[in-house]
Amino acid sequence: MVVLFEDPRELPLATFLMQVFITLVVCKILAKLLSYIRQPQVIGQIIAGILFGPSILGHVRGWSEAIWPESSLPAFQLIANLGLLFFMFFLGLELDLDQIKNSWKTTIPIACASIIFPVGIGCAVALWFYDMNSNFQTNKIAFILFVASGFGFSAFPVLATLLNSNGLLNKPIGVQTISLAAVEDISVWVILAIASAFSSGDSALHGIHAFFGAFMSGLCLPRKGELTNFLGLRIELIIVEFFLPLYFANSGLRTRLDLLTTGQSWWTLVVLIFLASIAKILPVALMSKLCTKKSWSYCSSMGVLMNTRGIVQLVVLNIGVELKVISPIIFAIFVLMATVLTFLTSPIVYLLYRRGVDKEKLSSNDVIEELDAVREDRKNMVEYESAIYTISNGSVIDNELNSPKDNSNTNRDQSAVIDNIVKMPIYPRRTVNMTRF
């Protein structure tokens, strides 16, 4: 029986739709505001989740009872975790293994340094944090591996967004950094799968294995043909614009910043940010300098980019909370660490690398003007006419070289006509297309 004018908050579906609407609107507004300072939309989604949680709006009685009642949380968490499965599948789908193969001589050594040192320091930090996690009767090895893998991850999709916003996505530093992040994510997911095996009970079967299986399913799909391109184009929008904001809102509902009430907790956060940065930036910069022979600004910028955290690290932390391996206070500290490090990446890269690139472009203007003058002097010698036509499956280049004018360096009676059709194939979606995060 349908009751007219019934309070929609009493209906589970109406409550869920209201939560989705508020989440998407707030995430979109924050993402738009942060885009003016070149921050990825994942920062806005994390902040929105923290706003919704018990740290801020959770203290407002009307908010928690009307918008996020306790009875509605299981259904919301179910949809958020379902979205995470789709995201992990999409992440594996977008990884370009050919890109790694083409640059493996430099990618593999740098990736090893980017994994070994952060994971090692993460293990040491985990031993320090284990006393803070004493309320959770969890396996010590599982806790150490979860914290260490959180140190090792770089935010692969967030990294693509930062590179795109700084105009570096298709530059050598962008391509190499994306390849490094891909190798690193595959390796650390294996560590995380091992960590779940040490978690207590059979809860591991309901945690990391499902997400890791979705990731490997996307990774194993054939890259030849149109299958990956077909799937990627059709699932990207709904995953990025719908499911991920819900997942971050669900993550924010677990974030208890109100637990960080002592000065020791905040000093722990500062030390953690420092250690995580040193563990990632220094090894990557030094190994990159050794392998690529590039400038220090290039190598340092690569280290800062690899220090980007975000989506994947929050996925690891949420899995640790679900498996009751990580306590709420440690979860809150790591969420803040991931947010701060991701927020600082873009301005630091601009100071280290992007400003140098801009200055180099400005200093080359004089050379460009001289080249233009030379071309103007030689314009009377040879006249080139070019036209580019676009067709449905590529580009057609039709160049005609004619010499109709009387010139001492050319022959009027002799004219060359070049009419060659070159078809440029459309390649499948590449990893660097992940710029919507």
Residue 399 in domain: no
Residue 210 in domain: yes
CATH number at residue 126: 1.20.1530.20
In order along its 437 residues, the chain shows pLDDT tens digits of: 445 445 556 678 888 888 899 999 999 999 889 888 878 787 888 888 888 888 888 777 777 777 888 888 888 888 988 888 888 888 778 777 777 777 778 888 888 888 889 888 988 888 888 877 666 666 788 788 778 877 877 776 677 767 766 667 667 888 788 788 878 777 777 777 676 666 554 444 445 667 777 878 888 888 777 888 888 888 888 888 898 888 888 888 888 887 787 788 888 889 989 998 999 999 999 999 998 888 888 888 888 888 888 777 777 777 778 777 888 888 888 888 888 888 888 888 888 875 555 444 444 444 454 455 445 545 544 443 333 333 334 444 444 444 444 444 444 444 444 444 444 444 444 444 444 44
pLDDT at 21: 92
Residue 403 in domain: no
As a whole number of angstroms, the longest Cα–Cα distance in the chain is 96
Cβ neighbours around 275 below 10 Å, total:
18
For residue 334, which amino acid is it?
A: F
Whole-prediction pTM: 0.69
Total of domains in the chain? 1
pLDDT at 408: 46
CA dist., res. 111 & res. 291, Å (int):
11
Return phi, psi of residue 5, to 5°. 60, 30
pLDDT at 423: 44
Residue 1 in domain: no
Residue 172 in domain: yes
Residue 293 in domain: yes
Residue 428 in domain: no
Provide the residue range defining the domain that includes 147. Answer: 9-363
pLDDT at 203: 46
Residue 158 in domain: yes
Task: Classify residue 192 by burial, with Cβ atoms within 10 Å: 0-12, 13-18, 19+.
Answer: buried
CA distances 406 to 175, 327, 411, 414, Å, are 49, 85, 7, 11
